[in-house]
Structures are given as structure tokens and as C-alpha cells.
Amino acid sequence: MEVARKPKLAVWKFASCDGCQLSLLDCEEELLTIAGAVEIAYFPEASRAVLKGPYDISLVEGSITTPHDAERIHQVRRASKFLVTIGACATAGGIQALRNFRDVREFHRVVYASPHYIETLNKSTPIADHVFVDFELRGCPINKHQLVEALNALLHGRKPNTPAHSVCTECKRRGIVCVMVANGTPCLGPVTHAGCGALCPAYHRGCYGCFGPKESPNPASLADWWSRHGASDPQLVRLFRSFNAYAEPFRRESEAHEQSSS
Amino acid sequence: MSNRAVRVPYLARVEGETALEIKIKDGNVNDVRLKIFEPPRFFEAFLRGRDYSEAPDITARICGICPVAYQMSSVHAMEDAFGAKVEGPLRELRRLLYCGEWIESHVLHIYLLHAPDFLGFQDAIQMAQAHPAAVERGLKLKKIGNDIVQLLGGREIHPINVRVGGFYRVPTERELQTLVEPLQWAVEAAEETVRWSSTLPFPNFERAYEFVALRHPEEYPFCEGRLVSNRGLDIAVREFEEFFLEEHVPYTNALHSAHRKRGAYHVGPLARYNLNYDRLTPRAQAAAQSAGLPPICFNPFKSIIVRAVETLYACEEALRIISQYTRPAEAAVTMTPRAATGFGCSEAPRGLLYHRYTLDDQGLITSAKIVPPTSQNQKTIENDLREFVPTVMHLSDDELTWQCEQAVRNYDPCISCATHFLKLKVTRE
């Protein structure tokens, strides 16, 4: 009788904080079950053991910021059957994409005494700018329950259930009082992709956009409402320009307010 | 045979991307390089022009393993700049949040990242087959740390509830009570972790370190106190840069921090423990004593026992805070921005984390400086290897490499942090 081979799982890191891959180790109750369902073939943060590819599922964390990584991602793609990007760095360029709006050489000089030791690209870019991505998990960080759902779905050959509607929808479902309507607190909920469970409003704070833009958002309208609540253009630039600053709808909106403030 | 090279192109079970290269010539260690190829992310550059209130959320993204440390050092620096003081229950809640991060981070390192080295397993998943009870205990204990961070911070990684001045929402007494029963189990499990970790086989290796850590008049340190060392250093946090210097070396993307006169120093659990043993709870001291861990310890491999002792302390401290908690009327102290420079230092699980910000009169950041623990330990890690390798030179290349990796992991290095920071390569010529 032929014994079914366990699917091979690989976890890759590019420019990032390690938080999204840590989400896998933060699945304390599911970790040993997951390790039973797949063969953890490449996961340097957790294991010395390295198994050769190809890999059935590759989780890719981080953005592309160096010439070396721009090459390496193609090797990862070639070795992977199913490539899933995890987190805002991989899906939008991350917080380090703030360099995309500035002169990166000047950035070197601020952080490093001898900038010529450092090799880096002018822009921090998402994985999908370089290779084909099969599925993406949003968030800064990702939601670990969505990670388990995505792995479970892929192992069973179905589409992961990770809705693309807004944080507002999650907020209403939880019965949370709207922080913008009730308190005038600027909130990115109407334009932000669901997935966190409306965490910030539940803690009496406005959403700050960890999961990036939702499907077909209207950031210009939201910015208009904020302006009426007294938000200045420089404030609007900062609000749209954080962990998903280089995601198209947020980028365009921040640039519009940068122009009107200069 | 006397000329060898140890090369670890991608060091596993550390957070981030590091290589290690060791060159051995005629039986002597010629060169040790911890090469951090983690790409730089330029936090200090893009913090300029951001609002002071954004610093805790932005700097948290430096590290997914110790975001609370970044949030705490940054809020203290901002409050220092504005001359504000956060006291009473809000200060206690910050300590509680830090207890949660110490527990989850320490237990992750003890059971999932470091213990497999001592017991000869590639990873904790393999270890779980031979030692299921230990790994299950570790996972359950780690989860309790994460549960604290989640309840108080909103989520385990990059908590959303920390702000300059306090929190966005403070928990009710009843919400915190849900942590009591798990924490009572955690105290016992942490005590067992101290005992269990002390039974691991330890190399007989000691070095005369200069330990540097915070020291507070009454408490085991988290966010406040003076910077002290076992060689007479006793300075205020704001004097840090007068005594310590960050250097840029060509083979690594992380800056090396050193004492301006005395060079390499050691931060982290071992340093805190040696300098603050008298501030531990009686139960944590007793656990250390019965595990055979003296109040002064210079063996870096025994840091795994110290992490367990600190985990025990954090569980007890969390229970104390919860039992004395009364929900404050306001979730945060109001801040009045002013043009100033503020300094903040807190004890991340891996050691001292220094932040300095200069702000304009609108509260916008004009300059930022962040010195993470792993930058501070890099020189010490390299120096450890220079002395450790000769004691294990008789081993095969594979065994030698693994021992070197284990020696690096003594420091629970966090490469993501240090890049603003790690991969192993040993060359035997």
C-alpha cells in the first residue's frame, strides 16, 4: 500500500520584524497538530533541520529591499507549489516602504556611520511586484486564526475563508459603538480590510489600518470627513502613510494630501 | 586538521537573518564574525516628521517578538520629554503587560529555541516526541504570557492599546480576574521549568563579563531605574550615550555597541539577575537556590535557568498586580507636547533597550535614536566564541558548529531588532 506523503511547508523571511512567522509559533494549542499534518521542511526561526524542495506550501514574510532578495524571491517561487504572502510587509512593502517617498541615500546617513557598507534598494516592494502570488494574508501582524484557516483550507483543497470587506462590518457585527460617529475619533475602519476583529474600536481607539485597503475603498471621501473633524493635511498624510503606505489606494490618498499641504 | 572553518550560512532558532563565520588556524581561533545580513529598515530615519503619539505603534514593528519593549521604551522617552509621570494603576498595568511579554518570550526561547540544543534535537517538534510533557508545559506556559498581552494590549503581536500617557482602554477588575487561575498554574509550571532547565548538561564555561542592567530602588527592573554594572557604572538613563557608543563594522548590517572605555558588555537576563538578585521574590530566589544557581553566575549557558527564574518572577508579579488592581477613572494621563529631548530605557526580554527622541513644539519627532539589546551583545557573543571554540576544538565540524550555534543562542539574539542586526560560518584553514 502506498503511504500518502505529508505536504511540505516552508517559511521564508525577507525584510520584516518576524512577527507574522511568529504567529505560527504563537498557535500554542494548534502547533503540534499542524506539525502532524505537514512536514515542516524549512522554517529557520524554529528549526535547524532543512529539507530540500520543492515545497507544497511556502509562507513568505517580508518585503523586497535588497538586490540579493530580489533574486532570492524567484528561487523561492520556483521551489514552491503554492506561495502565500503573510503580512503587510509581503503584501504592501511594510513600514519600511516609507523610504519609497524619500531619498534612501539620505536614510543611510541617518542610521549608519559608514553607509557604503550597506546594500539596499531605493524602494521596499511587495512580493507580488516580483513573482506570482497564489494567496495573500493581510495584517500587521496577520491574525493567527486566519493563518490556521488558510493552512487548513489549502491542505483540503478549498479557498480560505478570509473576507475582504471592511473593519466597519466586523465592528457592527461585534456591536461596538462607532468611535468616529460617537466621539469624532479619526478611524480608518471604513477603508480598511477586515481580519483583526475590529480590535482598535473595541479598545476605544480609531483603526490605524494594519490590514491595508479593503476591496474598492473610498479613502478620498473618508479623508473629507476627517477634514471636517479638523484633521490637517499633514495629519492625513501620516494617517494613510503607515504599515500599508505603499498599497495603491493609501499611497494615492497620502500623496494627494502631501501636494495640498506643500 | 588544525586549520578549520566553521560556517553557518543561516543561523536557525533565532529571530532574523544571521550568519556566523569562525576561522581556525594552527589550532587557534583567528577570526569570529557574527554577520547580520538582515536587510536594514531605517526606522530612525523615517521616524523624523512623525507625531510623538505614533512612536509606540511604529517602533513596535521593529520586532514582532518584543513589541512591548519598544512600546515601553518609547512611551517613557516621550513622557520624559514632556515632563509627565505615569503612576498608580496605569504604571502597574504597564508592568503587567511587560510580565506577559517576558513570559511568552522567555518560554518561547527556553522550550522551543534553546532546550533542543542541550538535548540534541533539531527543533522542539522533534523534542516533543521524546519529551512530550515538557514541550506541552512550555506551550501552555507561553500561552499564558500571550493571554496577558492579548487581554491588556488587544493582541499578542504589536499590541494596539499602548499610548503615551497610558492606555486607550483600561481593563475592569473582573477582566483581569480571568488571568488569576491560569497564573496560579503558571507559577507552579515556572517553578518546574527552573528545576527542569537546571538538569540540562552545561559546559563548564565562564567569562568575566561587565553586566549592565537597570536597577530600581524597590523592584526587579522593567522600565525604570538607573543603569548600573558590576564594575561601578551607576548613571541615569539620559547619560547612556555619554558612556556607550555604537560603531559601524563592515561585515554586518547591525551596529555594535560598546562601553566607551571598557568595550564589550553583557545585557539580558544574566545581567539583570546578577545585578538585581536581591529584588527577586523569595520564591524565585528559593527556586534558583534549589536549582543550584548561585546569586552570581558567569556561565552564559545557564542563562536558560535564569530565564526560567525570571519567568517565575513575572508570574508572581502579575498575580500581585492583579490582586491589588483598582480600575483607574482615566485610561491615560493627558500630554502637553513641548520642544524637548526625552530618554527611555526598559528591560526587553533580551536586555536593555534605549530610546532617545528630540521633538519640536508641535510634538513632531526631529531625531530618533534606538539601541536594541542584540546590538549591545554582539561583541560579547563574538568574544564568547573566541574563548569557547578552543574548549570544543576536538569535536567534528558538525558538532563544533552546533556547539557554536548554541553559544550564540545563549543570548536569545533578535536580529530583526539589531538591524538597524545574525548567519554561522567556521573556516578551519
* Residue at A207 is within a domain: yes
Question: What separation in angstroms does the CA of B104 have from each of A22, B59, B101, B141, B178?
Answer: 11, 19, 5, 8, 18
What residues of B are in contact with residue A23 (Cβ under 8 Å)?
A: 157
Whether complex ipTM tops 0.90 = yes
Q: Alpha carbon of A161 to those of A145, A149, A151, A154, A164: distances in Å?
A: 11, 7, 11, 11, 10
pLDDT of residue A156: 93
Q: Report the C-alpha dihedral over residues B311, B313, B316, B318, rounded to 10 degrees.
A: -70
Q: Which residue has the cell 514552491?
A: A80
pLDDT band at B415 (very low <50, low <70, confident <90, very high): low
Q: Tell me which chain A residues have a C-beta less than 8 angstroms from the C-beta of B44.
A: 110-111
Cell of A197: 476583529
User: Which of the four pLDDT bands, split at 50, 70 and 90, describes residue B352?
Assistant: very high
| Per-residue model confidence (pLDDT) at position B4 | 84
Question: Which residues, numbered 323 to 342 in chain B, qualify as contacts with chain A under a Cβ-Cβ cut-off of 8 Å?
Answer: 331
CB contact under 8 A, A47 and B123: yes
**CB-nearest partner of A95 from B17, B58, B405:** B58
- CA pair distance B280, B285, nearest whole angstrom: 6
Q: Do A113 and B420 touch (CB under 8 A)?
A: no
* Region for B330 from its dihedrals, namely left if φ exceeds 0, alpha if ψ lies in -120 to 50, beta otherwise: beta
> What per-residue string of b and e applies to B372-405 under the rule 16 or more CB within 10 Å gives b?
bbbbbbbbbbbbbbeebbeeebeeeeeebbbbbb
> What's the number of domains chain B is made of?
1
Contacts of B124 in chain A (CB under 8 A): 46
pLDDT digits (tens, 9 = 90+) for B20-43: 888 988 888 888 888 877 778 889
Least confident of B112-121, B201-210, B418-427: B418-427
Pairing label, strands B212-215, B18-25: unpaired
The residue in chain A having the minimum alpha-carbon distance to the alpha carbon of residue B417 is: A17
Question: Do A22 and A126 reside in the same domain of the chain?
Answer: yes
Q: How far is B51 from chain A (nearest CA, A)?
A: 8
Asked whether residue A246 is assigned to any structural domain, the reply reads yes
Q: What is the pTM of this model?
A: 0.95
Enclosing domain of residue A213? 167-261
Listed residue (B353, B349, B332, B370) closest to B255, CA to CA:
B370
Please tell me whether residues A249 and A148 are part of one structural domain: no
Q: Is B135 on the interface with A (CB under 8 A)?
A: yes
The CATH number for A65's domain is: 3.40.50.700
Q: Give the A window 53-72 contacts with B, CB below 8 Å.
A: 65-66, 69
Q: How far apart are CA A213 and CA A249, in angstroms?
A: 7
Domain membership flag for residue A161: no
Asked if residue A2 is part of any domain, the answer here is no
Residue A186 included in any domain: yes
pLDDT by residue (tens digit) across B296-310?
Answer: 999 999 999 999 999
Residue B9 has pLDDT above 80, yes or no: no
Q: Is residue A162 part of a domain?
A: no
* Nearest Cα residue in chain B from A145: B155
Helix (H, G, I), strand (E, B) or coil at A164: coil
Per-residue confidence of chain A (262 residues) as pLDDT tens digits?
445 789 999 999 999 999 999 999 999 999 999 999 999 999 998 998 899 999 999 999 999 999 999 999 999 999 999 999 999 999 999 999 999 998 777 766 666 655 555 578 889 999 999 999 999 999 999 999 999 999 999 999 999 999 999 999 999 999 999 999 999 899 999 999 999 999 999 999 999 999 999 999 999 999 999 998 899 999 999 999 999 999 999 999 999 999 877 6
What CATH number is attached to the domain comprising B249? Answer: 1.10.645.10
Chain A residues with CB under 8 Å of B140 CB are: 28
Which of A155, A179, A213 is the last residue in one of the domains? A155
The answer for residues whose C-beta is within 8 angstroms of residue B414's C-beta and 6 or more apart is A18, B14, B15, B16, B63, B65, B66, B350, B372, B373, B374, B421
For chain A, positions 143-172, list CB contacts with chain B under 8 A.
Answer: none
Within this chain, do residues A20 and A141 fall inside the same structural domain, yes or no?
Answer: yes
Render A191-257 in DSSP notation, one character per residue. GBBS-S-SHHHHTTS----TT-B-SS--HHHHHHHHHHTT--HHHHHHHHSSTTTTSHHHHHHHHHH
Cβ-contact B249, B421 below 8 angstroms: no
Q: A181 and A86 in one domain?
A: no
**8 Å CB contact between A20 and A61:** yes
Judge: A29–B143 Cβ closer than 8 Å, yes or no.
Answer: yes
**How many structural domains are present in chain A?**
2
**B contacts of A202 (beta carbons < 8 Å):** 154, 169
Provide the residue range defining the domain that includes B287.
Answer: 4-428
Chain A positions touching B39 (Cβ under 8 A) are 14-15, 65-66, 69, 120
B21 close contact with A: CB closer than 8 A? no
Question: Cβ contacts (< 8 Å) between A235 and chain B: which residues?
Answer: 51
- The pLDDT assigned to B422 comes to 29
Domain identity same for A126 and A247: no
In angstroms, rounded to a whole number, what is the distance separating the alpha carbons of residues A77 and A223? 38
Cell of residue B221, nine digits = 527592573
Of the candidates B63, B71, B43, B51, the one whose C-alpha atom is nearest the C-alpha of residue A98 is B43
Tell me, what's the pLDDT at A124?
Answer: 95
A106 touches chain B (CB under 8 A): yes
Q: Answer yes or no: do A181 and A242 share one domain.
A: yes
Name, in order, each residue with C-beta under 8 angstroms of A258's C-beta and a sequence gap of 6 or more.
Answer: A101, A233, A237
Mutate which of B14, B33, B42, B117 to disrupt the A interface (most A C-beta within 10 Å)? B42
How deeply is B75 buried, as exposed, middle or buried, from its count of CB atoms within 10 A (0-12, 13-18, 19+)? buried
Say whether pLDDT at B15 is over 80. no
- Cβ-defined contact of A208 to B45 (cutoff 8 Å): no
> Same structural domain for residues A172 and A137?
no
C-alpha to C-alpha distance for B32 and B22, rounded to whole angstroms: 5
Separation CA B220–CA B106 (nearest Å): 16
Contact residues, chain A, for B414 at CB < 8 Å = 18
Report DSSP letters for B100-145, one per residue. Answer: HHHHHHHHIIIIIIIHHHHHT-SBHHHHHHH-HHHHHHHHHHHHHH
Q: How confident is the model at residue B418 (pLDDT cuts 50, 70, 90)?
A: low
pLDDT computed for residue B17 by the predictor: 77
pLDDT at position A57, please? 97
Interface probe for B, chosen from A42, A111, A207 (most Cβ of B below 10 Å), is A111
Residue B116 gets the label, from left (phi > 0), alpha (psi -120 to 50) or beta, of: alpha
Mean pLDDT of B331-337: 97
Compute the C-alpha angle A255/A257/A261, nearest 5°: 120
How far apart are alpha carbons A127 and B280 in whole angstroms? 47
Nearest CB to B40 within list A48, A95, A120: A120
Distance in angstroms (rounded) separating the CA atoms of residues A219 and A191:
6
pLDDT (tens digit, 9 = 90+) per residue, B260-275?
999 999 999 999 999 9
Alpha-carbon distance B171 to nearest alpha carbon in chain A (angstroms): 10
Q: What is the pLDDT of residue B7?
A: 80
Q: Quick one: cell of B376? A: 549591545
Closest alpha carbon within chain A to B418: A17
At B429 the pLDDT is 53
The three-state secondary structure class of A110 is helix
Residue of B38, B62, B142 lying closest to A28 (CB–CB): B142
Q: What is the pLDDT of residue B198?
A: 98
B4 three-state secondary structure:
strand
Which pLDDT belongs to residue B423? 32
A245 and A140 in a single domain? The answer is no
Instruction: Kindly report the number of other CB atoms within 10 A of residue A119's CB atom.
Output: 13
- Count Cα atoms within 13 angstroms, Cβ side, for A79: 20
Q: CB of B353 within 8 A of CB of B63? A: no
Q: Which residues of A touch B349 (CB under 8 A)?
A: none
Residue with cell 479623508: A223
Percent with pLDDT over 70 in chain B: 96
Neighboring chain A residues of B17 at a CB cutoff of 8 Å: 13
Whether residue A47 and residue B125 make contact (CB cut-off 8 A), yes or no, is yes
